[in-house]
Amino acid sequence: MRALKFHAEPDFDPDVLSADLNPLRAGERLRLLNERFGGNLVASTSFGLQAAVMLHLISEHAPEIPVVFIDTGFHFPETYQYAEQLMGMLNLDLRVYQPTVSAARMQALWGNLWENGKEGADKYALLTKIEPMNRALTELGSDVWISGLRRSHSQTRADRGFAERQKKTLKVYPILDWADAQVDIYMHQNQLPPHPLAAQGYVTMGDWHSTSPASKDDAESSRFGGTKYECGLHLDSNTPDFQI
């Protein structure tokens, strides 16, 4: 069991951590986080198009960090297959969390929530993503959450710092400043397989019902018909019911 070295107290300044992380390489950032926060760390993955990069970095530099996969029940079959492929290659402590309401029950009670505008999409995100992630943070005793978000993903992420606070949780983004070309080079150099759907025109990856192929220049149109890009986890800190 990993020792608890440092809690991200509510008065801990994310800007200070961002400044510490800024000059470092991605692997060095992970090692610094592991040294500073130890057993309070958790990472998340969606096994999306570029998830292999963050997972490989964790495997190489801090494999003891638990990696949470939120299984919404609506991932593409290819995503589940890709997850199995990467898990067979990398040294990771994967923890799978699922909604307390099954996909069949959810649709029987509320229909296709993702088709019911912003209110439906928000309820869908709360049931399938936010609640399971909150449960993971609670059960794992983690208050420092590592994610593979990058500024180049979308306009909504362009101004993010390397660390930010979301209620009681400190969010940290070790590859925030990586460009797409850097991701491609890293995957090639480390012989990381692409997501199977990358060859079919997908430039982002989410649930099957709300993700579609698009051009790289118009990636934000690929989720929820262009009305909503964020997956439901990485939202503004002031979003109600966001994190514990």
**Strand blocks (E) in the chain:** 41-45, 66-70, 93-97, 144-146, 163-166, 169-172
Q: Are strands 169-172 and 93-97 parallel, antiparallel or unpaired?
A: unpaired
Helices 51-61, 26-37: inter-axial angle, 10-degree rounding: 60
Classify residue 194 by its DSSP letter. P
User: Which candidate in 231, 232, 233, 242 is catalytic?
Assistant: 231
CA atoms within 13 A on the CB side of 190: 20
List CB contacts of 237: < 8 A, sequence separation 6 or more.
164, 165, 166, 167
215-235 burial, b for 16+ CB within 10 Å, e for fewer? eeeebbbbbbeeebbbbbbbb
On whether the CB atoms of residues 39 and 140 are closer than 8 A, the answer is no
Is residue 164 annotated as part of the catalytic site, yes or no? no
- Token pair 């096994």 is found at 47
Rounded to whole angstroms, how far apart are CA atoms 179 and 184? 9
136 token code pair: 């993971």
Catalytic residue ranges: 231
